[in-house]
Amino acid sequence: MADPEAPDAFVMRGARVAAANGIPHIAEQIAALERAVVENPSLAFDLAKFIVESTCKTILTERKIGFDKKDDLPKLYKAVTMNVPLLPVAASGEADARKKLLQTLSGLHTALQGVCELRNSCGFTAHGGDAQRPAMEGVQAILAAQAADAIVGFLFSAHRVERDGTQPKSTDHGHTIDKLLDTVYDPVVMVGQPYAVSEALYATDREAYLAVAASVDESRDVIAELATKYPDSLRPSIKEITFVHYDGVAYLKTKDDKGTVKLEDTSFISRGRDKLFFSPEDSADKNGDLLVHQFDPYSIINCFDLFTDAAAQNVALPEESPSETLSLPQSSIGET
């Protein structure tokens, strides 16, 4: 899988922090925009505008500032910049500094608006006109995405710092909650259109969404411990390994180098006599300890896709399996 730092990849770091700390419903659009700037640039412009619009609406809603659902991006953007303190409290009286910062934000917004308007004459989704028009090149799409990322990252951070007194944490906890909800529950269908449960719950009942987040127990990241115990064995694309407990189930969570979160229900792994190996009644950290210190390599390759193919083959080569192995139902292993 491609490295996010590679030249042909684009990562919206500011927007991802905002999504993880209060706007999880834009996470899918962020991922789509990151792909679009590389694979299909003409789709990037509407996505960039949508992400900024959604962020502005979230900020205004949280600050209890009214707006019309039909308000366009310039109006929403102006409302946010007029109501969110852009400078630290100690510098709030610096009129010249605020003026310069507003000019910078206005320039970012102008850049986003301008490059998106180019779509009307250059993109394949352009409106009107019969003549064939050239496809928008990726460099313009990246400019739109970079402008959107800078706007979302700054405005959301300024909003949260002033409101809560803390800088949003750069964490994928929001992505984990969304993944849990969308794994456990089927999509909600409204007017014939399916919606992810995480998206629907966040949009209709923020308190319920936060209650789910508060009920989740997540362990420390044990990837460094596993890498030390099994050198050159873990898949290089895996960047994080934790246990997540929710609603009586212990999940193994992995996050790859693209930020994709994967959850695996560990209920099929037993010690015998229907006793779960990774019990949700224990703490998530205790299950992390069990994975590192008591779950043998043979069991790892049969239950989880953590090892490289070469490392898994080396584990499976001995004719005699470990003398003490776990009770692993074959049908369950095949579904993992």
Residue 250: pLDDT band with limits 50, 70, 90: very high
At 137 the pLDDT is 65
Q: Residue 107: is its pLDDT beyond 80? A: no
pLDDT at 330: 38
145 and 34 within one domain: yes
Alpha carbon of residue 129 to chain centroid:
38
Q: What is the pLDDT of residue 293?
A: 94
Cα-based distances in Å from 105 to 115, 139, 281: 15, 21, 49
Residue 194 lies in a domain: yes
> 10 Å Cβ neighbour count for 119?
24
pLDDT, tens only, 22-64: 778 888 888 899 888 888 888 888 888 889 898 989 888 888 8
What is the model's pLDDT at position 286? 94
The beta-strand segments (E) located in 221-286 are 238-246, 249-256, 261-265
Is 294 inside a domain boundary?
yes
Exposure string over 12-50, b if 16+ CB within 10 A, otherwise e: bebbbbbbbbbbbbbbebbbbbbbbbeeebbbbbbbbbb
7/27 Cα distance (integer angstroms): 22
Most confident range, picked from 20-34, 212-226, 242-256: 242-256
Question: Mean pLDDT in the chain?
Answer: 77
User: DSSP alpha helices (H): ranges in 244-322?
Assistant: 284-293, 297-303, 309-316
Q: Is residue 301 part of a domain?
A: yes
Comparing 227 with 110, the larger pLDDT belongs to 227
Last residue of a domain, one of 184, 215, 246: 215
pLDDT > 50? residue 336: no
Q: Are residues 33 and 166 in the same domain?
A: yes
Residue 167 has pLDDT above 90, yes or no: no
Helices 95-117 and 138-164 pack at an angle, to 10 degrees, of 140
Asked if 124 and 195 sit in the same domain, the reply is no
For residue 7, is it within any domain?
Answer: no
For residues 152 and 269, state if they share a domain. no
State whether 145 and 179 are in the same domain. no
Q: Is residue 3 part of a domain?
A: no
- pLDDT higher than threshold 60 for residue 120: no
pLDDT of residue 125: 45
Number of structural domains the chain divides into: 3
Q: Say what the pTM is.
A: 0.48
Query: In this structure, is residue 4 part of a structural domain?
Result: no
Radius of gyration, CA atoms only, the chain: 24
pLDDT band at 97 (very low <50, low <70, confident <90, very high): low
Q: Are residues 34 and 151 in the same domain?
A: yes
301, 316 in Cβ contact below 8 A?
A: yes
Query: Given this model, what pLDDT does residue 96 score?
Result: 66
Domain that holds residue 184: 172-215
**Averaged over 90-95, what is the pLDDT?**
50
Pick from 31-35, 121-125, 178-182, 290-294: least confident: 121-125
69 with 104, same domain: the answer is yes
153, 164 contact by CB (below 8 A): no
33-37, 135-139, 153-157, 220-224: segment of lowest average pLDDT: 135-139
Rounded to 10°, the helix 44-62/138-164 angle is 10
pLDDT band at 242 (very low <50, low <70, confident <90, very high): very high
Judge whether residue 10 has pLDDT over 50.
yes
Measured CA distances, 265 to 27, 185, 236, 278, 303 (Å): 23, 14, 22, 10, 10
pLDDT of residue 203: 65
Lowest-confidence segment of 76-80, 157-161, 224-228, 249-253 by average pLDDT:
157-161
pLDDT score, position 91: 45
pLDDT(77) > 50: yes
% of the chain with per-residue pLDDT over 70: 74
* Together in a domain, 272 and 298: yes
Percent of the chain at pLDDT exceeding 90 = 24
Q: Would you call 120 helix, strand, or coil by DSSP?
A: helix
Same domain flag for 206 and 270: no
Is residue 204 situated within a structural domain?
Answer: yes
